[in-house]
Amino acid sequence: ASFVVLLQARADGASRLGVTVSRRVGGAVVRNRVKRLVRETFRRRWRELPAGDAVVIARAAAARLDAAAVGEELVNLWRRAGAAQGR
């Protein structure tokens, strides 16, 4: 997996996103690109995702993904995290 997703439910039903990309992923340009792709996926698809605070931790493999692959993987992980919490 290229990402780890941690999800915490919120009482007010709002959604927030935190992104962590370490230096192991790549240089500053690569890390910023990964963060932009994660934020863009969240911005476009937040209505489909379980509500709550989400933290996305990027792994080294995330540097090699294109925008479509990032979106696919993140949405699947968000849904699995939501299902694990019973939402």
pLDDT at position 87:
57
pLDDT at position 55:
94
What are 54-78's pLDDT values in tens digits?
999 999 999 999 999 999 999 898 8
Give every CB contact of residue 6 below 8 A, 6+ residues apart in sequence. 54, 55, 57, 81
pLDDT at position 42:
92
Alpha helices in the chain (DSSP H): 28-45, 67-84
7 touches 74 (CB < 8 A): no
Ranges under pLDDT 70 in the chain = 85-87
**What predicted TM-score, i.e. pTM, was given to this entire model?**
0.87
The upper half-sphere exposure of residue 15, i.e. CA atoms within 13 Å in the direction of its Cβ, equals 16
Element of type H or E holding 65: none
pLDDT at position 86:
65
